[in-house]
Structures are given as structure tokens and as C-alpha cells.
Structure 1
Amino acid sequence: MKGYKSCKTMYELLELVNKNEAGNSWIVVEADVFLNLAKEEQQAFCQALSRNTTLRRLDLKDNKITNDLLNTLIVALVQNTTLLDLRFNQEANNPQLLHILQEKILNNRHQALENVYEAPVPDKERTFLTDDSVFNTLYNIAYEQIEHGNADNLHALLSAIPQLTIKTTRMDENLLQFAVNHSQIKCAQMLISFGKHFHDFKSHINTALFDAIYNDDLVLTQLLLENGAYVNAKRNGFTPIHRVRSREMAQFLVAQGADVLHRVKCEESKTSGGNTVLHSVLWHKDVAEDLLEYLLEQGIDVNAQNAQDETALHLLIREGVQPELRARAIALLVKSGANPLIKDNQELAPLALAHTLNINFLSWNMTICRDLPTKPSRSNGFFDAPPEIMEPTALSAAPTETLDCNAGEPIVKKMS
């Protein structure tokens, strides 16, 4: 479970930032909140941010901000030394201002990792509990301390009941995972410092790494790797890089030695055997286009098939990537050599699958076979043609090529 707070209005955002509570360490702002902001609202937001000491991650999603507001944000970050991640649509912003902002954020990250929480060596035999109901009650109290960012209170509790450090819930979640999923870096540092004295805690660090990467939290990912997490640890056959959500995170993991070409073994996962990292990232409906570009640049086989004989193109269609991303993602994969005619274990090729599911018509037409002839067999569009005509015709088109009637007609006649 991700522990972020969501805001739909500037009023809600200002309320959370002004509260300055550790429980509000991760805020996600819905689209258009920053659209047409009044000058007074901009100033109020930046003033609140400059005073805040608990906000770690601020995700403005697709919100665009003006260069004037960006400049004011930079000034706010002179005072704010705790914000570690600020995301927004940067397409129209001044590159020099963006660079200055990023330098401020990087400096905050460096300071956060430098401020280590040193916990004393625990007395592992102290207050050894066997009553599950009492244990679970205390565990829930530990959860509350993490959720509200109370690292000192958490340390006091674990010092009294050290066993809580290595306990997991029925859902197999541990305290370190909970801290990671709530972006509570101080609590995570405390748990690592305290937990390193327990033999079983190493597996907790590796498990938490998967969550930090999925949350796209570079600071916590770096913290975990610096404290013993293994960059190629396995979990149900997957390695941490299978959970990647951004190009920046992928680049960081590869620099740390992550095996970007890793494939899940069939004996390790009945449902995901054979999956490449490319397969894994395409499960996300909001997969980043620049992440796909980076993974393909690393040499991942774009036509690799998993245990169900699915290629990346199959998943791109089946898993319902957002429509605005579909066309670009399909174009990118096809340009990189993806074959739309490879069949899965149900004998369905991506082209036929798109036809069957009645989706991606526009995507395919834009990237493989735009402007195909309307006669004699295209009276109702490309996908109304029989497969024996449709598939060879699609293959004859380059990803960026437009087939006019003169070019397409001979193919249709030949295949009819």
C-alpha cells in the first residue's frame, strides 16, 4: 500500500503543506491544480513549502508550472532542506531553471542520506512475547509510529520489544516495507540501524528494495542498497529492476549492477515465467515512454516470449496501457524490431489480438499501416480484411511509412 495523500485542489494542498506533519511526507496532486493559479496562490504555496520540514515527496503529476513559479520554488528550496523529490511536467520550462532546481533537490537528498540514525545495539532477549494478540497490538502501534514519522517513539518501542523488528504480517509485510511505502526515511534509517543486528533482517532489506523501486523512490532505494540490499535479489523469480517505473531509476539500478537482461525462470513462477524487464514494465498502464526507450537501448529482446508465448506487443495490447501512450509505445516497439505476427499459446498474434479485442485500431494504423487502400477489401477499414491479407500487408509497411492506394492496391490484389 502506498502511503501518499492525494490533493484535488490548491486549498487541500496548502492545508497539508501548512500542517507540516510527518504523516504527510508524500503528497500527490491531481492534474490541472496548478492551471491558471493566481499570483497570491503561487506565493502562498511557495511560502508554505519554504516553512515545511516534513514533506519528502511532492508529485504534481502532469501539472505544468510557469517559469515564474519555478523561480519562486527555487527560492523556497533555499529554506526547505527536506524535500527530496519534486515532479511536474517540465516540457515548457527554462532548462537553466530546471537545472538549478534539480541541484537543490540533489543537495537535499545528499543531506538526508548523510544524517544517519544511530540506534544502540538491541537486547534481543528482552521481553520475549509469545501471545499473538498482544504482539499484533504492539505491531499496529509500531505501524502508527511509522505512519506519523515518529522515529524516536518507534525506537523506544522496538527497544522494549526487539522481536517486532523482524516480525511480518499475514500479508508478509514488514516494518521496513511499511516505512518505505510511506516515504518515512527517518523511520527507515532507524529500522536499518536497529535491525542490522538481527540475522533475519537482511531479507527485509531486500524485500523493501522492491517496494522502494516500485514507488520510484531514489533516496530510499539508494539507502537500502548502501545498507546491504542486493540489486539482483530474487522474489518469486523477479529481480528489483522488474519493478522499475522511470528511466532515472533504471539508469541508477544498471549503474549499481542490476541485470537488465534478466528473465524470470519458468520454474520460479508459473504465471510470469520467461518475462523480461520489458514484459514487467508493460503491466503498468502509465509506463513511461523514455523508460521503454532506455530498456530497448540496453539490448532487451523485443520479441522475447514468456511462458504464455506472449511478446511485449501482446502485453501492450492486453494490459490496457493508457490510450494516449499506446500509439507511441507501439511505434517505438515496432521501430525496434517488434514482430506483430508472433503468436502466443492461444494462436493470437498482436495484430489479430487487437482486432479481436476491438482496440488499438488507431495505434496500429498510425504506426504500421496508415492510409491503406479502401478497395477492394478495405471498405470498412484495415482490420476488416481477412488475416491472410491483413498480416502480410502490415508487414510490408515500415513503422513510419504511409501506404497510399497506389502502393497498397497491388498487395491487396495479390493476396486476394
Structure 2
Amino acid sequence: MIKNRLIDPLIAHVRRHPMRSALLVLLTAATSAAFWQSDNASIPQQPQAQWVQVQPQLVEQQLGLVGRIQAARQETLSAPFEGVIRDVLVQEGQTVEAGQTLLRLDPAQIEIQLRQAQAELLKAQREAHQLRNWDGSPEVSRARRAVQTARSTLEATQANLRDTRALFERGIVARMEVDTLAQQVRTQQQDLLAARDELRTAESRGQGEERKIAEMELTNAQARYQAVTAQSERRVLRAPFPGVVARPSVPEGGKALIAQAGVQVTQGTPLLTVIGLDRIQVLTRVEETDLHQLREGMPVQITGDGFAGITLTGRIAAIAVQGNAADAPGAAAHYDIVIAVDTPQTEAAQVRLGMSARLAVSLYRNEQGIVVPPQALTTDSDGSTYVMFRATADTTPSKIPVVPGRAITEGIEVQGLQAGYVLVP
């Protein structure tokens, strides 16, 4: 309507003044062009979709931690028994070989315990042997002889009673003699029963609880003797593997023992520590919120300021089952993680025990991952996800179903797509 109000007077004027029409047409055209530009500028421009190229690339997700370098092998040698240190043959910081003698203990006290254990073992062996061969033991033999004697005595008295009764019936002997013999028979019958009871009791000793008790006492005596013998054999402490001698660590507030000749020690007292230098590991901690992401065997890259320019490789070797309690109530617990270093020690000469380290745990890695912008993903009516895809810039687009995966900085990894172009609205 606005356009008609401008154009209709112009046409009438041209008809009345044809000579001036050219100039007027030019002015009107310029005015109309300005009007159309102003009118179109008020309409918002729609963003245009673009095709983004995608191709296989490395997709990796890492978890950063900090830890400390320590020896993979470390063993503290303790006193195997109570005694006195006789000799100390090494010093702190000294390099030792596997099997090298480090310290000797005086065996006087342990030898007393060894003789006592041996005496108890001999007694238990004798008792068990007697019960195993109990049928031929003197006690059973005596009981059997007692039964035989009681039986023979009873049989003789019974025969005498029969003869005496015959004489009594003929009137040769008095009734008193018959009664006396009858009383003796009854008494001897009781004696025979008692002797048989004693024999059964004696025989049962080698078959019942007493024999079981003797066998258990023998087993205990053997175990005690073997334990004391093993302690005695450890009177000489040797290096379990090549390494360096160090002072054993003590609990906070405890007093460290300096191993030297003449010092009295109790069983279990830490004396020396041997630290192996052939392999190292890293000890770190992780919060409970990140623990579920870690698995044993995950690869780890290790760097540190103390060994700048060197990147060690390793893997998660162990994850603690029980966490360290947090200081503040309600705070998250931490779990110890041990990282085994795979890099040979010869290639990590700059690394020293106790150095701090930065860890990059590889949680996920795909050498041929496909990543698309989040805007390229569209949800279909059935809930499935798809992208508009074309293999080259000249091919016809098609709808390709995909499975979204991990979200990274560059976008979202998807499954079911190959290299090409995706439409980003």
C-alpha cells in the first residue's frame, strides 16, 4: 500500500511532463531503493547451517594426580627372638648384595628355648608311641594277668565247693565248710568282675580321648620345636635382595633403635631396612569421588620437576580397599594407589626416592575416535540419535543413526560414523 502511494503520482506526472520524466524517474528509483533497503534491514537474518568435516582422531580422557617416588621393594628386618646384638656388619647408606650378612644376634637365650622345646617334643613322642601300642603296654598286661588270676582262683574255689557239697551230702563234713566256700565263690566272682572292668578301662585309654589328647600334644610340641628352630636359624640377618641399608622407620612419637653390638632387643624389634634400587613405584592418593574411575592395569604417565624432560610410564598396580579417614567430619576419604613404573631404572637415572611426581592416568583412549559438535546431534521421534551426514562435499546428505559416547573438549565421541561431513544447524 505504501509502495502504491509513491508510484501512482509519479506515473501521472510523467504523462503530463514527458521531458522532465527522466530526472524524476532517477530520483524516484533512488528513493525506492533506499526504502527497500530500509524495509529489508528490519527483517532478522536466519543463521545458515554449515557442514563440518569429521575424521578419526585420538580421543583420550585423563585423571591428574600427584604422588611421591618410592622403592618398589623395601623390607624391614626385625629381631626374630629376644636377645643381644652380637655384631653389626653394615652401616646406614651402605650398598649390599643379596644374601650378604648384615647383623648377628647372640643365640644363648634362644638355645635355652630350643632345648626346652626339644624336651617337650620327646615327652610327647614317648606318650603318643605308648598309646599307639597300648595293647602291649605294661598296664594292659597287668590288667590281663589280674583277670586271669581272678578267673583261675574262682574256678578252683568253685571246684572245691562242689567236692565239699558232695562230702556234706554224705555227712562227712559240716555245713559250715560248705557255707564258707560258697561265700568265697561270691567274693571271687566280684573280684573277677572288678578285674574285667579294670582291663576294659586300661584298654580304652589307648583308643579314646586320651589317645587323641596325646596326638594333639605331640602336634603342638612339634610346632613349637619347629618355630623355635626357625627363630634360631635366623640369628644371622642377611640382605633379602640387592639394595641400600637404611634405618627402619618408627611410628610418630616413637624412638628409633640404633642397632649396635651389646644392645638388648625384644622379639619383633625393627633393626635394619633394605631398600631395593632396581625398581621404583609411585604412591598417590585419590578422593572417593574419583575412585570409581580407576582400575588396576590402567596406563599412567609420570613427570616431575626433579626429573624434568623425562616421562616415565607405568600402570596402576594396587588400589587400597580401605580408605584413610578424613580429619574433618563429613569430609571425603582418600584411598592409596600404587603405580608400578615400567620404565627401566637405567633410563630413569635422574629419578630419586622421595621426589614428587605428577601423574596422568589414562581413563579412556581411542586412537580412531570420531568426534562431532554437540549441535550436530539430533534426537528422533523414537528417542534415537542421528546426524545429517555426507561422505564428501558433493554427495547427497543422509540421516545416519549414531550412539553418543564420552564428552570431551572438542565435542562428543560417537559410534557408527565414518570420516566425512556432518551438518551443524
Q: Same fold (TM over 0.5)?
A: no
Structure with the bigger percentage of helix: 1
Tell me the TM-score normalised to structure 2 length. 0.20
Structure with the bigger percentage of strand: 2
RCO higher in structure (CA 8 A, sep ≥6): 2
Tell me the TM-score normalised to structure 1 length. 0.20
Q: Which protein shows a greater Rg?
A: 2
